[in-house]
Amino acid sequence: MNGLTASRPVGSPMRHDERPPAYACGFAALRQRFREAAERAGAELSEYVHPLNGPDGGALATDVALLGRRDARKLIVLISGTHGVEGPFGSACQTAWLGQKNLRRLPDDTAILAIHLINPWGTAWSRRVNEDNVDLNRNFIDWSSSAPVNNGYAGVHDALAYREWEGPDRIAADEKLAIARRRLGHAGLAAIVEAGQYEFADGMFYGGGRPVWSNRTLNEILKTFAREARQVIVFDLHTGAGPYGYPALLSVASSEHDGLAWGKSIFGPALSTVLTGPGAKTGTGIAATATGYVSDAVRKAMPNARVLPLVVECGTLDGPAVMEAVQADNWLHLFGKLDSPLGKRIRDTLRSAFIPVDPDWQRTCLSSSLRYFDRALADLRTVALDETTGSERIPPTARAVVVVDPVSAGEAKTTTPAVQIDELHKSFGALLVLKGVNLTAHAGEVISMIGSSGSGKSTFLRCINLLEQPDGGNVAIDGELIKMKPLSNGRLGPADMAQVERIRARVGMVFQNFNLWPHMTVVENIIEAPRHVLKEPREKAIEHALALLKKVGLADKHAHYPGQLSGGQQQRAAIARTLAMRPKVILFDEPTSALDPELVGEVLRVIRQLAEEGNTMILVTHEMQFAREVSHKVLFLHQGKVEEEGAPAELFGSPRSERLRQFLARTL
Ligand SMILES: Nc1ncnc2c1ncn2[C@@H]1O[C@H](COP(=O)(O)OP(=O)(O)OP(=O)(O)O)[C@@H](O)[C@H]1O
C-alpha cells in the first residue's frame, strides 16, 4: 500500500525447487487470466476502457466480473491494483478465487464483484500512481470542500522529489532526508509523507486536484453493480507494507461505524482496525494520517448498506527500502529515461519492492487472502436479511457459524474452564522439558502454542491427555482434576486408570503423522473408538462417521484405505476420527507439518471451521499466520516455560520479549 513505516526485512530465500511463481506478469497476461477465470466461472464480464495505452501500445481497461445477480443483497467486492504496481497480487487473488468451485453455487441473494486493476495505467506502466501521478488511495476525498493541507510535506518535498539522479543536488536531497529521518524517526517521517498532499503534482503521495479516471470508474462500477446490495464486504488488495510475506487484514476508517464491529465478529483478532486522522498512529505499516482512501469511497458509494471495507496488506521490503524505490521511480518518470539501463533497473527494483519474485511469498499471500475471502463468504451466508430493507435480521437463535469472538470467549471466563493446567513439570531423564507451565482454556477458546523446536510444545500437549505422565502439577479437564499418586521411582503417575480412560475419551488429539490404522478403511478407522470406548451401535457410529467425512470433504473416500489417500486427506480423515468421539477439547499436535505445502490449506480450512463452530482447541503449530488468525490466545514457549502469552494481535504485533522477537523474525 505505502510501505513507509518500519517493517522487518526478513528475506525469505527463493526456493528453486518450487514451482514457478503463481502470479502473471504483464498487463495483457493479467487481463487474459482474469477474464478466462471469470468466463469459466460463468460471471458477467464488463470492461471500462481507459483513454491511454500501455508501454507496448496495448489498450488499457478495468475489467469487472460479476458472479451472481445484479440485485443481490449480499455482496463481496474484490478490488485489485489501486496502486498499479501492486496489481499482480490482487489479480492473482481474484483469478484464483473465481476459479474455486464453491463459488459456482452461490445463494440467490449473494454475489461476488471482482474489479480487476482499477488503476490499469499504473499496473501496465508498473507504477504505484496513476497517469496523473496521483496516489489513488488519496484521491477519494470530498472534492466539494477544499483539499487537506499538509504543511509537513512541503518541508521535505524537494528532498523526496529530487531532480538529479546523482551529483550535488542529489547529495543535498539525501542529506536533508537523512536529517529529517534522524529527527523524526522513520515512522514520524512516514506519517508526514504518507498523509498525502494536494499541492505538489510532481511529489509523492499526491492526491490530485479532482476525481481521477479510476475514482470515477470505481464509483460508476459500484453504482451499476452494487445498487441493491445491503450487506457488503470489500477487500482492497495491497502489497508493500508490514512484515515480509505476512498478509495482514486491516479495516481503515475515519470513525467508528457498524461495519467495524461486523468485521471483528467475522475475523476476531485477525482484523486490525486503523482509525485515521491527523494525529493517528498505527503499528500496522499503513498510514493512519491519510485521507481519501478507497475504504471511504466504498462506504460513501453505498449509503444504504452495511459496508465492511477491508484492506489486505502483504509486507515486502522494509519501509525505507520501499520508500527509496518509490522515490527513484518518481524521479525516473519526471526526469529520467524509461528505456535506459538505469531506467530499467529502477523499474525492476520498484516491481520487486511490491511483488517479490519469491514463490513462498507469492503462495503465502495468495492462500491467506483466499482464506479471508472464504471466511467473509461463510459469514455472509449466515446473515439473515429483513426481506424489505435488506438489513440484517438478528435471528432468535445464534448463527449457524459461531465466529471466533474474543468477547464471547471473555464472557465464558466465569464458567469452569474446559482445560486448566497448573505448574506442569516434565523431565525425560536428566532433561528438564517442562518447568512449570500454566494454561487455562475456556469453552470455545482456541489457544495456539508456538515456540522453537524442542521447547516442549508437543510434550505439553501429550501431558494433557496423559500420553506422557507429568512429574508435577495439575491437569483438570472440564473441572475434573486428574488424580495423581507418587510412584515407586519417585515420580508421579495416575492414581485412577479408569478416570484417565474416561478423561482421554473427552480429549481428542490430532497427531502430526495422522496415526490412522493402515489395515482399516477410513470409515472403520473412524468408528473404532466410538464402538469400543463409547459402545455406540455400529449403525449409529457409521452414520456419524459418514456425516463427519462429509464435513471434512471426504464423503467419497469412506471405503478407501489410508494408503490410498493423500497426506491432506489422511489428516482430514484423522480429524474426522477425533471428532467421532465428540471431544470436549481437541488437541492438535502440528497437524500440518508432515504435509506438502500445497496440502496444508485443505487441513487448515477444516481446523478453521472447527474453530468457527466454537470447539475448544489447543493447537501446537508452526503456521504463524494461521495461529494469528484463528486463536483467541497464543502462548510462546521457550525452554519449557511460557515466555509470553496474549492475544495474537499483541503477541505478533508488539512482542515484548526479545526471544519472541527473534523467534518471530526467524519464522514469519
Ligand atoms: N519420549 C521422549 N524421551 C526423551 N526425550 C524426549 C521425549 N519426547 C521429547 N523429548 C525431548 O524433549 C524436548 C522437547 O520435545 P518436544 O517434542 O516437546 O518439543 P517441541 O517444542 O514440540 O519441538 P518440535 O517443534 O520440534 O516438535 C526435546 O529435547 C525432545 O528431544
Answer positive or negative: Cα dihedral of 508, 514, 517, 520.
positive
pLDDT at 283 over 60: no
CA of 47 to the centre of ligand 1 (A): 57
Q: Take residue 60 and report the three cell numbers written for it.
A: 488499457
Ligand 1 site, CB within 6 A: 428, 431, 433, 451, 453-459
Map out the domains of the chain as residue ranges: 27-321+354-382, 444-466+496-667
Mutate to test the pocket of ligand 1, among 424, 425, 433 (most ligand atoms within 8 A of CB): 433
pLDDT at 235 over 60: yes
pLDDT grade for 490, boundaries at 50, 70 and 90: confident
CA of 456 to the centre of ligand 1 (A): 6
Q: What is the mean pLDDT of residues 566-579?
A: 94
3-state secondary structure of 390: coil
pLDDT grade for 62, boundaries at 50, 70 and 90: very high
- How would DSSP label each residue in 121-161? HHHHTT-SS-TTS--GGG--S-TTSPPP--HHHHHHHHHHS
Closest CA to 99 of 114, 117, 87, 85: 114
| Tens digits of residue pLDDT in 80-90 | 999 999 999 99
Q: Which fold has domain 444-466+496-667?
A: Rossmann fold (3.40.50)
Q: Which helix (H) or strand (E) holds 498?
A: helix 497-506
What Å distances lie between residue 83 and 233, 326, 348, CA to CA? Answer: 20, 12, 16
Residue located nearest, by CA, to atom 9 of ligand 1:
459
The atom of ligand 1 lying closest to the CA of 620 is 22
Mutate to test the pocket of ligand 1, among 426, 458, 667 (most ligand atoms within 8 A of CB): 458
Where do the H-state alpha helices sit in 195-318? 213-225, 258-267, 294-301
CA of 504 to the centre of ligand 1 (A): 21
Residue located nearest, by CA, to atom 26 of ligand 1:
453
Mean pLDDT of the chain: 87
pLDDT at 446 over 70: yes
Q: Which fold has domain 27-321+354-382?
A: Aminopeptidase (3.40.630)
| Tens digits of residue pLDDT in 176-197 | 999 998 988 888 888 889 889 9
What per-residue confidence (pLDDT) applies to 285? 56
pLDDT at 409 over 70: no
CA of 473 to the centre of ligand 1 (A): 19
Distance, CA of 142 to CA of 134 (rounded, Å) = 16
In sequence order, which residues have a C-beta less than 8 Å from that of residue 193 and are 6 or more positions away?
4, 153, 156, 160, 204, 205, 323
| Tens digits of residue pLDDT in 129-155 | 999 999 999 999 999 999 999 989 999
Angle value at C-alpha 271, between 586 and 456, nearest 5 degrees: 40
| Tens digits of residue pLDDT in 22-54 | 687 899 999 999 999 999 999 999 999 999 999
CA of 458 to the centre of ligand 1 (A): 7
Mutate to test the pocket of ligand 1, among 424, 437, 449, 457 (most ligand atoms within 8 A of CB): 457
In sequence order, which residues have a C-beta less than 8 Å from that of residue 74 and are 6 or more positions away?
107, 109, 110, 111, 229, 230, 231, 232, 380, 383, 385
ipTM, interface predicted TM-score of the complex: 0.95
